[in-house]
Amino acid sequence: MTSRHTLVKLFIVAMVIGVFSASGWAQIRTLTESTKPVVSPDGSRSIIVDRIYRIIDGEPERYPSRMLVRIIDAGGTSTRQRRLEASQIRLLNSPRWFDPRWVAFTYNISKNANGVVYVDALTADALQIEFVALRRHMAATDSIETELTSLDVTEYTGKNVTRVSNITRRNRAVFPLLLRPIPPYDTSPFPLVFAEQIKAALKAYHDFLAKRGYHLFSIEEASESFDKEEKHMAALACIDGRPHLLISPLEAETPAAAMEQVKTAALMPDIKLICLESVTTATHSADENSSSTLPEDTEPAGHFGEYRFRTSWKDETTVLVEQEIFESEEQEPRRVPLYTFTLDGKLERIGNPVIIDENTSETLDNDTLSTSAQNMGSDPLPEVSDKTSTPPLPAHVAADTSVSVTHKVHSTPAPVTKNAQTKKRSSEPTKSRYSAKLQSAQQEKSSTKARTSHRSSR
């Protein structure tokens, strides 16, 4: 009888272990590579940054994405720590102290892509910037020019993690964080004043979210456009699950002033944006003692590859929302105008989206599916919840004059593809909206993904 009870107990234990393993609770072995301790100017503390490799099938992953920052007092006791998640880490550089409180370090992601992290040694709050900046040698002037194509900011405060992906223009972020041009990068952290500028822009962004009551927000990738004088930018966005059009100023003196002047307008649900297909959140809870992971982008394929929605400028005061249809590789994309939106807040619908047959990949272009601007002029605008805006403009626009982006948690996302270099924004038409991006990401991560599981969603 005793033997039978023992067998039953062993069976139950095996079942429990199996359940834990199947649910992802089984512990993953890791390998840690640490920087040397760097002592603060006053000698009161030091910092160590650990690069954490996961062991998959007996081998460490080629390029890790996880880091652990440890603040150690003069007696050798760890007083603060912060787990960080990067796109990937090819090379980790030694930290540098600015003063007894603030310290920063940099890391390389891939060619032209790098990251900078600022850490508050007293609170373990952190500010992470990942950017892609292409460097070109100009033969005529024998100089190096830099083109910023992507800039993502992740803020770690207490147990919250907020990621913001930005639209860039002329070497700076312009929305939702309006920043000055990025300083030259030479593997050293940017000056602390750059981090202070980002924190001010983040505050303006958070104030905007609170004032407007927005919870979910993401920008439709490659939908932005700029007026001829580059005084304003337009883009499509998903706000609390609804498609929107926004206009943002580019010449405001402060980030707060810029956010106050942003105008948004709700669009009809037949504007099928890709960002509506992804789960996005403005702020994510992260246990300081657990990995602060952000899930990857999952971009749908299929009929979305045959068209996209975008913005363009009809003149210096009027924005168009268009459906760009890729009918064949030999033909130029066909653009169907759907809305006009003016700087003074007047939204007018002038057309219907062309429906793409998902089974045949053909456009169903008839009087029912695609009507003229004259026939569509009287179409009602969508009702909008109190959280976003009120129906018809300009009353809605007058009240709703700001917008922001929080990554796709994943954006973004996320705000987020692992390789920051694949997050470069482009307004150039392509046959498939995401095929080039996905191909680049697959090539960059093929060696890592073969041995590594996807990041877990928070």
Q: What is the pLDDT of residues 404-417, one digit of tens each?
A: 333 332 233 333 33
pLDDT at 376 over 70: no
pLDDT, mean over the chain: 75
Is 411 strand, coil or helix? coil
Mean pLDDT of 146-164: 94
Could you tell me if 156 and 286 are in contact, meaning their C-beta atoms sit under 8 angstroms apart? yes
Q: What confidence tens digit (pLDDT) does each residue in 193-237 have?
A: 999 999 999 999 999 989 999 998 999 999 999 999 999 999 999
pLDDT at 73 over 50: yes
Could you tell me if 296 and 271 are in contact, meaning their C-beta atoms sit under 8 angstroms apart? no
Mean pLDDT of 357-373: 45
The pLDDT score that the predictor gives to residue 453 is 39
Q: What confidence tens digit (pLDDT) does each residue in 174-191 have?
A: 999 999 999 889 999 999
Residues 6+ apart with CB under 8 A from 153: 127, 128, 129, 163, 164, 166, 177, 198, 202
Q: Tell me the pLDDT band of 359, cut-offs 50, 70 and 90.
A: low
Is 413 strand, coil or helix? coil
Q: Tell me the pLDDT band of 99, cut-offs 50, 70 and 90.
A: very high
Could you tell me if 321 and 444 are in contact, meaning their C-beta atoms sit under 8 angstroms apart? no
The pLDDT score that the predictor gives to residue 145 is 81
Mean pLDDT of 305-333: 89
Higher-confidence position of 405 and 323: 323
Instruction: Give the span between the Cα atoms of 218 and 164, in whole angstroms.
Output: 9
The pLDDT score that the predictor gives to residue 348 is 96
pLDDT at 124 over 70: yes
The pLDDT score that the predictor gives to residue 137 is 77
| 413 conformational bin, left if phi > 0, alpha if psi -120 to 50, beta if neither | left
Share of the chain above pLDDT 90, in %: 56
**Does the predicted TM-score (pTM) go above 0.85?**
no
The pLDDT score that the predictor gives to residue 17 is 41
Q: What confidence tens digit (pLDDT) does each residue in 18-29 have?
A: 443 444 434 678
Sign of CA dihedral 369, 374, 378, 382: positive
Dihedral pair phi/psi, residue 117, rounded to 5°: -125, 130
Q: Tell me the pLDDT band of 328, cut-offs 50, 70 and 90.
A: confident
Q: What are the start-end ranges of the H helices in 23-62? A: none
pLDDT at 456 over 60: no
The pLDDT score that the predictor gives to residue 192 is 97
Mean pLDDT of 421-427: 38
The pLDDT score that the predictor gives to residue 46 is 97
